[in-house]
Structure 1
Amino acid sequence: MVCADAECEPAGSNGEPTHVHLLVNFPPKAALSRLVNSLKKGVSFRRLRQEFPELARHYYRANKLWSGSYFAGSAGGTPVSVLRQYIERQNRPV
């Protein structure tokens, strides 16, 4: 829903205990900061609090689950399959 509202298309995801990797097809006119903000402060926070109620107690005072920082990189010209493979392997030791 968040990606549809931002005219983006999710293409892959994975995560580690301290962060999440997302691969998103994204038009240049979309505001990256708005998409990240929606993902971090909206749907993901509500759903994680529902699924893991113990998080609500831990993050009650701050009323946030994610840090305010993020990294975004562009990969024009790289096949999506290569990027997806990279993300899928992030949580595995080399």
Structure 2
Amino acid sequence: MVYGYRWGNVHTGRHCIFRMHVHLVFVTKYRHSVFTDRHLTRCEEVMRAVYEDFEAELVESNGETSHVHLLVNFPPKVAVVRLVNSLKGVSSRMLRQEFPERVRHYWRAQRLWSGSYFAGSVGGAPLSIVKQCIEQQNRPL
């Protein structure tokens, strides 16, 4: 459970009902090939603690040698940029500490991640259907 009570795929808080997902992609600094399966597994474990702090939930996680993809369910009180900054900061610090052999070769700038990231909203009906639903509301005269 993320926040409040779970009702199907919808979560409830004190004053809202929500289902919010974001697709995040983090790329390593200079797109260096840093990760093996072992590193990606540990990265996911480290990030799970951050999700708990934000009352968010990791739905799916995967990656390749130079980037990770995350699908996150989060409450509306959480700003995506705060979640991203925390995920990138904590994972960078922990992975550099736990895998010092990677630090010398890949993290000369003492940073695991590039400063940029991708965040896309996902889930629910296609935008065309949502737009049509809004257009068809019975506006009072």
Per the TM superposition, whether the score is higher than 0.5 is: yes
Give secondary structure in 1 for the equivalent of 2:93. helix
When you count strand as a share of all residues, which structure comes out higher? 2
Give the deviation of 1:41 after TM superposition: 1.2
Specify which of 29, 40, 50 is matched with residue 88 of structure 2. Answer: 40
Q: Match for residue 32 of structure 2?
A: none
Q: Match for residue 64 of structure 2?
A: 16
2:124 matches 1:69? no
Please give the root-mean-square deviation of Cα atoms over the aligned residues, in Å. Answer: 1.7
Give secondary structure in 1 for the equivalent of 2:69. strand
State the TM-score, normalizing by the size of structure 2: 0.48
Runs of 4+ in 1 over 3 A off after TM superposition: none
2:77 matches 1:29? yes
Identity of aligned residues (%): 67
Structure 2 unaligned spans of 5+: 1-48, 126-141
Greater gyration radius = 2
Q: Return the letter of the residue paired with 1:56.
A: V
Give secondary structure in 1 for the equivalent of 2:113. coil
Counterparts of 1:31 and 1:68, CA distance in 2: 17
Q: Match for residue 49 of structure 1?
A: 96
State the TM-score, normalizing by the size of structure 1: 0.70
Q: Return the letter of the residue paired with 1:55.
A: R
Structure 1 unaligned spans of 5+: 79-94
Counterparts of 1:38 and 1:49, CA distance in 2: 15
Give the deviation of 1:64 after TM superposition: 0.9
Give the deviation of 1:77 after TM superposition: 1.2
Tell me how many residue pairs correspond in the alignment: 76
Give secondary structure in 2 for the equivalent of 1:38. helix
